[in-house]
A = this chain, B = another copy of it.
């Protein structure tokens, strides 16, 4: 049994890589560029070369390497096959472990990058100690990673956890990125908070710090912390939508904890305080003691989760 594992998180611009010990501590982390030429055909060889150099540098042999975990921006099935390719990096469908282990002969596992990040938060982040967890990413959009009994749920077509597209609002007139109207993402993402803010500000002329400077999710939550009343109204509306949406998720999979990450989550505890009462209000009693926590690994969640695919013992 090896003492080390690599966690690899392949993004559209860079590949993040981490060297982990058995306890899930990151010993080293670095990045290499993602070369997307020729359908991204050099990405895995580049990664392999970088890993081999690191092994040489650290004096780690193949027999001391437990394996390599890889997160990729596309739907991946439980065998590690990229089901429909990964358009951001030019990849067509193929079995990732098969190809990667041809370069370095150790166990290789692959997963969707968002799911890997969710897994990372469960293993070493905000969801540590839990095995039934939903990771919620509040960024440009709203994403979800659903973990049941320690395993990531991928769904029939790799689209499990698309919780940002739960329908919330019949009266919505603007169109979501998915083509529907009234999706959770239209209210609970960074752009969603801005949408709610613009609508609130247009209602009347009540003075507010939110009217000054550049309007963003951050400016709204900063004003909330300063006690701004209009900002609080916007944030409460955000909390109602997100709480109600997460309640629907809780009524389906009954998780122990929601771990909230992404740019909007930088608002911190104030965000959890807004969401919690709404979440509890709309959740079935037996599922109501679900916890809310903040993500802890930030941009490193992907490499943690990828390494966790190899090292995490349930």
A residues neighboring B (CB under 8 Å):
75, 78, 132, 144, 146, 148-149, 153-163, 165-167, 178-180, 244, 247-249, 251-256, 281-287, 289-290
Contacts and interface: CB of A to CB of B under 8 A. Distances in A.
A287 B254 contact: no
Contacts of A254: 153-162
Given A148-B148, A153-B253, 10 more contacts: A75-B286, A78-B149, A146-B253, A156-B254, A157-B286, A158-B286, A159-B286, A160-B254, A162-B286, A167-B244
A244 B284 CA distance: 18
15 contacts: A75-B286, A78-B149, A146-B252, A153-B253, A156-B255, A156-B290, A157-B287, A161-B254, A162-B251, A162-B252, A162-B254, A165-B284, A166-B251, A167-B248, A179-B285
Per CB-CB distance, the 9 closest pairs between chain A and chain B, nearest first, are A155-B254, A159-B286, A165-B284, A160-B254, A156-B256, A167-B282, A162-B284, A159-B254, A159-B287
Contact of A255 (B144, B155, B248): B155
A251 B163 contact: yes
A178 to B, nearest CB: 6
Contacts of A157: 254, 286-287, 289
Counting every copy of the chain, the complex holds 2
A247 B167 contact: yes
Point out which of A178, A251, A254 has the most chain B C-beta atoms below 10 A from its C-beta: A251
A307 B256 CA distance: 30
Contacts of A281: 180
A28 B155 CA distance: 36
Contacts of A290: 156
A248 B244 contact: no
A1 to B, nearest CB: 26
A272 B167 CA distance: 20
A249 B247 contact: no
A253 B155 contact: yes
A169 to B, nearest CB: 10
Contacts of A256: 156
A245 to B, nearest CB: 9
